[in-house]
Amino acid sequence: MARIGARSIGDWFSERLPISGEALRELTNEPVPYHLKRWWFALGGTPAYLFVVQIATGILLAVYYQPTPDAAYESVRYITEEASYGWFLRGLHKWGATFMIAAVILHQMRVYFTGAYRKPREINWMVGMCLLLSTLMLGFTGYCLVFEQLSYWGAAVGANIAGSVPLVGDFIRDLMLGGEGYNPRTLPRFYVLHAAVLPALLTLLIAIHIAIIRIQGVTELHFEDEPEDKPKYFNFFPDHLLSELAIGLVLMILLTTLATILPPTMGPKADPLTTPEIIKPEWFFYVVFRWLKLFSGTVAVVSSGFIVFIMFIWPFIDDWIRRKTRFTEASVWIGIFGALTIIALTVWEAVVAH
Ligand code: HEM
């Protein structure tokens, strides 16, 4: 009886959704090159996993969060100090953000140093740049929502920086703040960006990124120290998925431990009349912040924009260097110089008060 029931349910579905087991296997059985057994080469899955953690914890936080200047700080305090496991969810979300940004940067470094952005993958590199910028914007808008002194003044400084972009600066600043300065319309704007627009954009970009990877496959890398008889590929399902699940479990243990040992606390509430002595953004903006302090005003903003533009079109610049000069390894040295500069500026901003 039960068997007949199961078969007729199966028939009911297959009459409406005629998907064969063969087609399903075809869809999931993507052959994955062997080097993706190492985490360094499969780091793209990590931000994807962390994004899911952020969505799940973010939805639960949104149950209590109130995006108005009068109520925001009190609602975050309630989450942190009174709501059941609120401190834990906030901790997972905060550490998850740090891990996600770090994972995106590491994944981009892997792609860069293995030259995996070269033809035919230039478009996916540019999609990746949009992913990087959207992830950083998610971090920035999230930081603004707590409505602590640093959230408020961080947003005010960010808006000032946007305001110094030539020609369109005032427009961007007004769009960001809903007026010339921070006002009651500002916080809801950050909230809509943080909880709706940017997650939707990131979801779309990840879908495009993965679709392109499936069309092109990942870059095949060969290592001299690998034995000849090693298999060249393994199956995405279930082998690679199981590796990703194992990585996910390790990350969950790390996040849980950090959220418990170093839970987020409450800083002083935003006070529009008192500028804090030291204004610092989150660690991932230290490099930009130090750059802005080194070169003031429009020069700093225009040069930052120029650097981002160069990063966007890097595959084409690299291609030009490799065709026109003898420096085929130039990208490696430029990459090492860029990474060291970013680390130096970040550490510099971290250790000095101003
Ligand atoms: C939320 C952010 C991101 C997610 C979820 C993601 C996801 C992935 C995944 C799953 C792969 C397959 C191979 C691997 O795991 O390394 C991949 C490859 C790739 N990603 Fe990303 N990625 C992100 C950000 C970026 C960024 C910031 C860049 C560069 C600007 C980038 C450029 C690429 C390129 C060019 C490939 C192809 C690599 C190859 O062929 O070996 N991605 N990405």
What's the pLDDT tens digit per position in 57-68?
A: 999 999 999 999
Class of residue 100 by CB neighbours under 10 A (exposed 0-12, middle 13-18, buried 19+): buried
pLDDT class of 297 with cuts at 50, 70, 90: confident
Q: How many CA atoms lie within 13 A of 328 on its CB side?
A: 0
Is the minimum distance from the CB of 48 to ligand 1 under 6 angstroms? yes
| Atom 42 of ligand 1, nearest CA residue | 128
C-alpha 213 to ligand 1 mean position (Å): 8
C-alpha 329 to ligand 1 mean position (Å): 22
Quick one: what percent of the chain has pLDDT higher than 90? Answer: 83
Do the Cβ atoms of 163 and 173 come closer than 8 Å?
A: yes
Cα–Cα distance, 70 to 79 (Å, whole number)? 16
| Atom 25 of ligand 1, nearest CA residue | 128
Q: Is the pLDDT of residue 224 over 80?
A: no
User: Comparing 27-36, 172-181, 317-326, 328-337, which segment has the lowest mean pLDDT?
Assistant: 27-36
Is the minimum distance from the CB of 176 to ligand 1 under 6 angstroms? no
Q: What is the pLDDT of residue 3?
A: 60
Is the minimum distance from the CB of 43 to ligand 1 under 6 angstroms? yes
pLDDT class of 205 with cuts at 50, 70, 90: very high
Is the minimum distance from the CB of 209 to ligand 1 under 6 angstroms? yes
C-alpha 285 to ligand 1 mean position (Å): 21
Quick one: what percent of the chain has pLDDT higher than 70? Answer: 99
Q: Topology of domain 34-218+233-273, per CATH? A: Cytochrome Bc1 Complex; Chain C (1.20.810)
Q: Is the pLDDT of residue 226 over 80?
A: no
Is the minimum distance from the CB of 133 to ligand 1 under 6 angstroms? no
Do the Cβ atoms of 150 and 181 come closer than 8 Å?
A: no
C-alpha 207 to ligand 1 mean position (Å): 11
C-alpha 158 to ligand 1 mean position (Å): 28
Q: How many CA atoms lie within 13 A of 97 on its CB side?
A: 23
Task: Kindly calculate the radius of gyration of the chain based on its CA atoms and give it in whole angstroms.
Answer: 23
Query: Peptide bond preceding 120: is omega within 30 degrees of 0, i.e. cis?
Result: yes
| Atom 5 of ligand 1, nearest CA residue | 48
Domain ranges in the chain are: 34-218+233-273
Region 5-17 average pLDDT? 87
Which residue bears the tokens 């140093």?
113
Residue to probe by mutation, ligand 1, list 131, 133, 234, most atoms within 8 Å of CB:
131
Q: Is the pLDDT of residue 353 over 90?
A: no
The more confident residue out of 319 and 296 is: 319
Is the minimum distance from the CB of 117 to ligand 1 under 6 angstroms? yes
pLDDT in tens, 92-151: 999 999 999 999 999 999 999 999 999 999 999 999 999 999 999 999 999 999 999 999
C-alpha 168 to ligand 1 mean position (Å): 31
Q: Is the pLDDT of residue 265 over 90?
A: yes
Which residue bears the tokens 């392109």?
212
Q: What is the pLDDT of residue 344?
A: 98
Angle CA 324–327–332, to nearest 5: 125
The more confident residue out of 47 and 226 is: 47
pTM metric for this prediction: 0.94
Do the Cβ atoms of 216 and 174 come closer than 8 Å?
A: no
Cα-based distances in Å from 219 to 35, 37, 110, 121, 301: 10, 14, 12, 9, 35
Instruction: Tell which residue, 65, 256, 56, 44, has the closest CA to residue 142.
Output: 65
Is the minimum distance from the CB of 139 to ligand 1 under 6 angstroms? no
Which is the closest atom of ligand 1 to the Cα of 126? 30
Q: Is the pLDDT of residue 1 over 60?
A: no
Instruction: Indicate left, alpha or beta for 220 from its phi (over 0: left) and psi (-120 to 50: alpha).
Output: beta
pLDDT in tens, 17-46: 988 888 888 888 888 998 898 889 999 999
Cα–Cα distance, 286 to 340 (Å, whole number)? 14
